Structure formats: C-alpha cells, structure tokens
Structure 1
C-alpha cells in the first residue's frame, strides 16, 4: 500500500505543478500581469492551509493538492540555482570586475545599513541585542529569485539591484557563521570560517581552471552530435557539479550556479545554453513560488493581521529608505533611487534560511521566527506590487524632470537609430549630423539623456526590451540601426530581436573581439566591428557608406576625427582602458 501511495502522491504533486505552469503563465500573460502572483496564489490554494487541509475529508482533493509540501522543496531550491545560472550567463568576468565598486561598496553599505536600521527598531520594541542583530541581517536580504526577473540586469535599476544582490549572496555564508558564533552554546565541532573560506577558495579556483580548459571541448563534443538532449544534459551537468562543489565546501550552492553561468558565458556556446535552459528556469522558479504560497496560513494571518501588517510595513519602509538614500549618495538619479529602493524592500527567500539559523542558535524564540517567516512570505508575495509602485513613482519623477528638459525636435521619416549614446554613440551621432543624416538615439541612463537633450540632440530615454520603446522607434522604417553597448550578451540578444523585428534594416554592432563578432554575424548583424576607440570611427564609416555617402568625404572626415582623438589622447594622457593596455593600444593606432 505504501509503495502505491508514494508514486500516486508524487504524480498528483507533478500534476498540480505542471497544471499551474500551463494555466497560470498564459492566463496572467494575457492580462500582462506577472505570473509570480499567480504561482503564489496557486500555492496558497492547493497547500496544506488551503484545499490541502480538506483532503482528509474529501480524498479526491489529494489529486489536485500538494500532499507533502517538503517533497517539492528540493525542486524549489533547484529553481533558484537555475535562476542564478541564467544570471551568470548574462554576465561576464569583465563586467563583474567593472562592477566591483558597486558590489563591495554599495552592496555592503545597503546590507549593513538595512540590518542596523531594522535591528535598531526591533531593539526599541524589546528584542535582545543578539536577536535584533540576527533578525536585522535576515530581513535586510532581498529576493534574487524575484527582483532580477523583474528588474533585469541591464539599465540603471537592473545594475544597481544586481550589484546589491550579488553582495548579499556572497555575504550569506559569513552571516550564517556569525549567527552560529553568537549562539549561547556554539557547537564545538562546527567548522571555522577560515576553514570554509580556504576550502571554498580552492573549489572556486578548480572550477575556474575547468571552465577555462574543460568546458570548450565538452560543449564542442556535444555540439558535434547536433543533439539538443545531449547539449541540455551537458549544461545541467555543469550547473549541478558546480553547485554541489561549492555546497560541499561550505559555501552556498547558488554561488556555484552563478560561477557556472559566468564560465559558460565566456565560451561561444553560451547563447545556445541560455536558450535551451530558459524553459526549465521558469518552471523551477514557479515551483519555488508555489512553496512560498503554501507557507501562508490565512487563519494565522487573519488572527494577527495588525502585527503582521506593521511588521511588513516596517521592513519595507526601512529597506526602501536605506537603499534609496544610498543610491542618491552614490550619484544615481532620483527615479532610479525610488524604483530600486522600493523593489529591493521586501525580504528574501534566503531570509527563511537565516531565520532558521538564528532560531537554531537560540538567538530568537521559535514563535518569533515563525512570525517573521510569515512576514517574509507576505513580503515575497507583494514584491510584484512593490515593483509596480516603484515604477509608478519613478515614472512621475521622470515626467517632472522631462517637463524641465529642453524641447528637442525628433527627426521624422527615415532616420538612423543609435542604441546607446555613450562616448561611441555620441561620436557616431556627430558624424551622421556632419553629413546631414538624421538620427534618433536611445539610452537607459537618465543623466546621459538629460545632458544630450540639453545640448539639443535627439536622444530618448528607454530600454530596448520595452515594447512601447520599440514602437516609438519605428525600427521597420529606419535607415540603419547601430548597437553601441559594451555588453556582449546584451548586444547579441538585441541583434536577434532587431533582426526579427526589422529583417531588411542594416544592423551595425560594436563587438568585443573577433569571436564575438562572428556570433553577431550569425545572429543577423550586417556589420560587427571589434571595439577600441578606433571602432567608433569604423562604425561611422560603415553606416555612412551604407547610407550612400561618397567614400571620399567619409574618409576625409574619418581622418579628421582620428587626428582629434590623437590630440585628446596626448592632452589627457589616458585611455578608457586598463593602464597596462595603453601602450599597446596606442601602437595599434
């Protein structure tokens, strides 16, 4: 009998999960509502505090409810691992290195500041110092699983959120060790932090070596078979091995998953890996959200509505204020500070881990831990609503700022579209204007857009992933589209999207190196020019020739701009590159 019940129970659980994915995602997508809320509501409905509580009286409910919530927790953990793996695929080691100031500066200040403010508030309410510190650190964490799918990893909000969340993921292990060390009776045989760090460091080095020398031949062999199943198996093998390795060393498994994504992102196969694993990420994330919903007991919520509401409000306000003020101090726009602060204000799935550690270390009472676990579940549930509030608040701030902007006439008819108006994009705009070619630029940095519009340049604020922005650019009628962002994975994704939306429009792209250029050509780019300062001149030449400007005037203007660059380099004495590359890049010119 027991041998029959287990498979039946597992099959009914699978039926609920797959049914939720098949119903919730299309239904909420139809109304342009994030499916995050739908999955949480499904968990609330079919969990042990919903219809699952009636399964003993009505046995048929066993087939549409989750009979054992703990049985699907490993799948929820695997969903978070796949999410961090996908994030790693969108990054690169160069980008992480460029973000180090944000990760270890802004990220550390945000976590410590939020923990201190929340902990101080709890101390004023009578919580002992050790317990207040443990609760503060737990509640200061924000949800990687929910925030990044909403914010993305690009744009001002995405980059700020990513940097803070990366630091929180790194700090999770030291936090757990700190709480264990603060326990009234610390375990004598517990491993030391130093031991865990050196073991973890050795594992990370080993993974880096394997990623450099082992991954390319592994995926090359999988690609030769032309078998999607084998390619998927190789991808999942890398993720699981990396997660298990860091977990065995005492670090977080999600750190291994992130590292696996970073390693694969450095290979030429990362685009195929990202495409083939994305459906699994969405399904596994849905399982995690269902477990969150199953942890909410509506009866307990109703009986303690006032204290729980105050707890959620206090945490959200404290974290939003700290994060927003830090972003302003860091020089970010008010709209970015508002949107990011509110988005990061709810607790995290890892908050539940830290709360369990604090309770096990006897820093807080079990009833206190249960109260804040419910607060965390509610906070996770309202994260999409907080994101919408943040977007509305940021939009109002941006609208007021636009009212004070200098009015700029946007060119009508056929025009060149420049995606990214940094140094490279601005130079291309100057070259187009010099030859009488109208253009319209797009950038996601409010400061860049405001400065450009103040100078009378036709630049819009927006993200290329927004459907409304794409409609406004009218890409199908563009003379050409130029992609200037120095983010290889983002550039590749944009080229694929642009080629689908505008099959006949020339697409000229800034590439990092010849390998990246080859990937861009395969994705549909008309021209892919490897970077350096010279690349801006080559991009300008390519687009002007494609637009029909005679070669003679183009070459003359390119030489003039090159002379201007050389004068600026001699005057300023530095390039936008690491100092060790200056001499070699000067020789290239």
Structure 2
C-alpha cells in the first residue's frame, strides 16, 4: 500500500527515513547530499517501490524550501547591494538567457519540432534549477563571493522572466478566446504585487516585529517569520510571479532590520528540511516508463540540451572576461533545467501549445538533467579540477553595503586581532582584504568583511573613506601600506590613520605619508620578551616594569624625532643626523634605566 494512502504520520516517517538512510550513505561515498535525496526519491517513488504516487504534490509543498532559501539569501543582501548588482542582473543575465534560448530552439528545430514547441522547450530548459545551484553554492561557501554573486544575479533575472514567458505561451496558444486576460493586466497585477510587498516591507514589517519582540514569546517570533516568508511567496504567486522571488524581496527589505539574525535562525531549520523534501520529490517525478519508452529521444535530448546550454554559459562567461576554470565551473553547475520548467510546460499543455506526450518527454528531460547535474559536479571536482592549472583571475571587489566610521585594511594575523578586539567592544568596522579565500572563510565564521584591493582609490571611495573618522592599515606589505596611507590622507585630510609598520624605517615612510600613529609589528612583543628575560635573571618585577615603560616612551619619542630628519634617498647608516639622534637616545635611555636600577640597591 502506498505510504501517502495511509495515515499522514506514515508518509512523514517514510520520507524522513528515506532521507536519513540515503543522504549519509551518499555523502560517505563522496556523491553528495543532493544526489542522495534524488536517489531516495526515485526508490520510494511511483517508479521505484511505489510508496508515493503523487510526486507533483510533494514538489509543490517542498518548493517552500527553495522559497525559504531565497529569503535567507535576501537577508544577506541590502537594497544598496542589489543596486550594485544591477549590471550583472540585467546585462549578464539577459546575455546568458537569450543566447541559450536561441541555441536550445535550434536544437528543438533539428529534432523536428515546430518553432512554437521548440520555443516552449527552450524557455523551460533555460531556466536553471535554483535549488540545485543555490545548494551547491551554499555547500562551497560561495554565495557571497564575487563569482557566486554573479550566478545569483543570473538566477534573479530568470525569476523576473516568469511573467513574460507565461504571457508568451498564452500568446502562442491556438485556443485564444475573448475571455483571455490581456497582457497589460497580467503585467499590471505583477507590478502591483511587487508594490504591495515593498510597501509592507518598508512601513509594516519592522514595527510588527518590534511589537512581537516585546511579548518575549519565541514561538510567536518564529510564527511571524514563517508568516512573512509564506505571505510574500503567496502574494507573488497571486501576481503571477515566482514564490521564490517574493521571499527574496521580503528578505532584502528586512536585511537592515535589527531582527535579521533572529529571522535567519528561525527559518533555517524549515529551509533545510523542505529543500531536502524538494529533491526527494524531483527524484520521485522521474517517470521511468516514459524514459524507457522513448529512451533514445530523451537521453539524446538531455545530452544535447545540457551541452548547448552549458556551451552558451561558458562562452558568455569567457566573453565577460572569466578564466577557463571559472567559466567551465559555471557551465557545469547551471547546465540543467529547473523547477519552473514544470510550470511552463503545464501552462503550455493547458493552452494547447504542446500535447501531453511532448510534455511528458520534456519533463523527463528536465528531471533527468537535474538528476545528472550533481553527478557531473562530482566528476568535475574529482577528475577535472585537479588536472587544471588554475589561474586566478582578477575579481571585482565586493560591493560594500554598509559604511562605518572605522575602516580596517587587512584581515591577516595582525588585522584579525585588531578587528576582534573592536568587535568585542560593540564596534563593527568596515573590514577589507584582497585575499578572496580568506574573506570567504571569514564570512563562514560570521565575520563581516569584503574582498578588494585597497590600493585602488575607487575601493577606498566605495568604503566611505571621505566620511570615515579612523583608518587602520594592518597589511604586511610595506609599499602597499604606505601607498594606502598616502591615498587616504589625500582623499580625507581629517581622517586619523593608525598603520602597522614593518620596522623602524617603515615607520619613517608611514610618518611622511601621513599616518598619525605607526605601530611596529614586532616592537611590543620584543619588548615583552626582553622584560621576561630580565625577570628570568632575577630582577625585581616592579623594577622590570618601570624599565620597560621607560624604554617604550624613550624609543617612541626618539622615533618621532628621527622621522623628521629621515631621508629615504640617503642610506640608513650614512645619514649623519639620524645616527646622531640614535646615539643620543641610546645614551639618555641607558642613563634613565641605570637610575631606575639604582633604586633597587
């Protein structure tokens, strides 16, 4: 007996058991969680053990996992960030989508389809699976990286295409009637839905959460979070748009809310479970009887469509100056069809543009492409990437979506300590580093930071250097640190600059470049070591502390004097005035320390 025909509890237990058994097994085999969900769905579905006979119903419910995923992504993207991605969304997205539609239509025509059917097939397959791509980016920790943001931008553009494509299918219908909804009304309804959602996000949601927070009832906050996500999704669906797009917009509108982290924590458990359920549903929906009946057509169609779409994605990536490894990676993870194809094919069948047999074949092609994609990703990771000579391309710097009065340049072993100390006091500076891997790792740890090269004036401008009050330069490259100080001083003469110095001579360079405070990276640790040595030699602790303090202030005072007479064009041991100051300081410091030591006797 089918599990879904029994009590609801048996259905839930069956689904959970399938996931709990398959996913760990597939991950242990190195095949990934997505492939585990798909395989489990195939086993328990109507073409496996037959425990479930309505995969479409499960997919429809489980699409809420994708919806919640997009809501969480939206929480990480402030409106200014979305505006900064506008060129990627509309230019890169349009370039990739329309070139892929043309190529896929060509393949459809070669298969003998009419141009109308070929257009429907191409339009459905060109829309990438948001669930698969976002899950892969999330597993890599790549969503907030520059290349991840470009892929997210393309997915957003695909969501925006839903209304025009459905309108195009209605236009192609041979069964047009006078009662059909005009295109202008469809577009107006979609625009109205977006306007209502934006208005609610701007003027209603934050006051609502403030009121609910006063109740101190955690379950009410969780219910409110679910209400926002599902309400936004329902509103967009009513307007003929993507539910995922509605959730994303709601997330963006709440991205600057003080409740953002609470919302993310409340939604995350539901997101993971429902997204897994979605992949189970996709596995169930693979109609093996259709595949076996038309296996040559379907397998060749999957190969042809995935190759054509992947090739277009690769070419567009190369034309937009991506290196071969990154272009190939994007092509592989985005070459499949997506969830929206099911909606488009169903609408086309209802409108009489395609018949039920073509719909079944096209649906099988899309589902099979979704099933194969995780396998292709694994093959790419294990066998292609290790054979490639990776060339790091110059990435665009991250869009800086939050300006603060304090800016830290450098998040290495030195800058991390400075940033951590500030964060412990409640200060959240704008942190920038040009090591993309380091930034990706820090973001995984929850440390807000941005990728970029601070020696470029445009990045300092984007970070708000003109209005900032304090700049900390914590990088270990002497020349670059000096250059950044010079740029910052020119761009904001009033800013206070504290800079990490490699040694005494670098202190002089930073002083002349405009740094207010120069901190030698080894001076304090070396001084502390010297004090430990004196203690180990048996000297009194109070005397040692007094000696250390005297040495510190004498040295700092002399450094400032020496910086004023330093000339980088004269060798360090040939500058007579500098040597004279150094000698005088040594004599005065020794005299003061001897006086301190005499107190002990």
Give the alignment's TM-score, normalised by structure 2.
0.67
Q: Which residue of 2 aligns with 1:354?
A: 344
Q: Which residue of 2 aligns with 1:315?
A: 305
Q: Is the 8 A contact 2:128 2:338 kept in 1?
A: yes
Are 2:494 and 1:539 equivalent residues in the alignment? no
- The number of equivalent residue pairs is 459
CA deviations on 1:287-337 (whole Å, 9 max, x unpaired) are 111111111233443443332221111011101111111111112222221
CA deviations on 1:343-366 (whole Å, 9 max, x unpaired) are 111111111111122222222232
RMSD between aligned residues: 4.0
Residues 202 and 392 of structure 1, relative CA distance in 2, 3 Å threshold: same
Residues 477 and 26 of structure 1, relative CA distance in 2, 3 Å threshold: farther
Alignment partner of 2:88 out of 80, 93, 102: 102
Alignment partner of 1:379 out of 344, 361, 369: 369
Q: Secondary structure at the match of 1:247?
A: helix
Residues 15 and 398 of structure 1, relative CA distance in 2, 3 Å threshold: same
Uncovered stretches (5+) of structure 1, i.e. residues with no partner = 53-64, 406-418, 425-430, 434-438, 442-474, 500-507, 512-529, 563-589
Q: Which residue of 2 aligns with 1:15?
A: 13
Q: Is the 8 A contact 1:156 1:336 kept in 2?
A: no
Q: Is the 8 A contact 2:125 2:337 kept in 1?
A: yes
Q: Which residue of 1 aligns with 2:325?
A: 335
CA deviations on 1:74-93 (whole Å, 9 max, x unpaired) are 32222222122122122221
Residues 423 and 235 of structure 1, relative CA distance in 2, 3 Å threshold: closer
Q: In 1, distance between residues paired with 2:33 and 2:11? A: 19
Q: Is the 8 A contact 1:420 1:485 kept in 2?
A: no
5 Å-filtered alignment, 1:215-294, equals: 215-294=205-284
Shift of residue 156, structure 1, vs aligned partner: 4.0
Q: In 1, distance between residues paired with 2:300 and 2:81? A: 40
Q: Which residue of 2 aligns with 1:525?
A: none
Shift of residue 215, structure 1, vs aligned partner: 1.7
Q: In 1, distance between residues paired with 2:390 and 2:238? A: 52
Q: Is the 8 A contact 1:148 1:161 kept in 2?
A: no
Q: In 2, distance between residues paired with 1:70 and 1:129? A: 28
Q: In 2, distance between residues paired with 1:222 and 1:71? A: 34
Alignment partner of 1:49 out of 47, 50, 74: 47
Q: Which residue of 2 aligns with 1:38?
A: 36
Are 2:115 and 1:129 equivalent residues in the alignment? yes
Q: Which residue of 1 aligns with 2:199?
A: 209
Shift of residue 423, structure 1, vs aligned partner: 12
5 Å-filtered alignment, 1:557-568, equals: 559=514
Shift of residue 495, structure 1, vs aligned partner: 6.0
Please tell me whether Structure 1 or Structure 2 has the larger radius of gyration of its CA atoms.
Answer: 2
Q: Is the 8 A contact 1:484 1:509 kept in 2?
A: yes
Residues 263 and 305 of structure 1, relative CA distance in 2, 3 Å threshold: same
Are 2:145 and 1:147 equivalent residues in the alignment? no
Q: Is the 8 A contact 1:12 1:66 kept in 2?
A: no
CA deviations on 1:81-139 (whole Å, 9 max, x unpaired) are 21221221222211211111111111112111111111111112211111111111111
Shift of residue 14, structure 1, vs aligned partner: 0.9
Q: In 2, distance between residues paired with 1:382 and 1:397? A: 22
Q: Is the 8 A contact 2:55 2:282 kept in 1?
A: no
Q: Secondary structure at the match of 1:539?
A: strand
Q: Which residue of 1 aligns with 2:445?
A: 497
Q: Secondary structure at the match of 1:149?
A: helix
Q: In 1, distance between residues paired with 2:129 and 2:408? A: 44
Residues 96 and 227 of structure 1, relative CA distance in 2, 3 Å threshold: same
Q: Secondary structure at the match of 2:7?
A: helix
Q: In 1, distance between residues paired with 2:167 and 2:264? A: 34
Q: Is the 8 A contact 2:4 2:11 kept in 1?
A: no
Q: In 1, distance between residues paired with 2:214 and 2:503? A: 42
Shift of residue 19, structure 1, vs aligned partner: 2.2
Shift of residue 180, structure 1, vs aligned partner: 0.8
CA deviations on 1:493-540 (whole Å, 9 max, x unpaired) are 9367178xxxxxxxx9679xxxxxxxxxxxxxxxxxx94125596132
Q: Is the 8 A contact 2:40 2:283 kept in 1?
A: yes
Residues 547 and 237 of structure 1, relative CA distance in 2, 3 Å threshold: farther
Q: In 1, distance between residues paired with 2:396 and 2:118? A: 45
Shift of residue 161, structure 1, vs aligned partner: 1.5
Q: Which residue of 2 aligns with 1:69?
A: 55
Q: Secondary structure at the match of 1:484?
A: strand
Shift of residue 376, structure 1, vs aligned partner: 0.8
5 Å-filtered alignment, 1:428-507, equals: 483-484=431-432, 494=442, 497=445
Q: In 1, distance between residues paired with 2:399 and 2:239? A: 44
Shift of residue 252, structure 1, vs aligned partner: 2.5
Q: In 2, distance between residues paired with 1:269 and 1:31? A: 40
CA deviations on 1:530-558 (whole Å, 9 max, x unpaired) are 94125596132887579999998698366
Q: Is the 8 A contact 1:46 1:66 kept in 2?
A: yes
Q: Is the 8 A contact 1:160 1:340 kept in 2?
A: no
Shift of residue 371, structure 1, vs aligned partner: 0.9
Q: Is the 8 A contact 1:339 1:391 kept in 2?
A: no
Residues 422 and 554 of structure 1, relative CA distance in 2, 3 Å threshold: farther
Q: Which residue of 2 aligns with 1:569?
A: none
Shift of residue 492, structure 1, vs aligned partner: 11
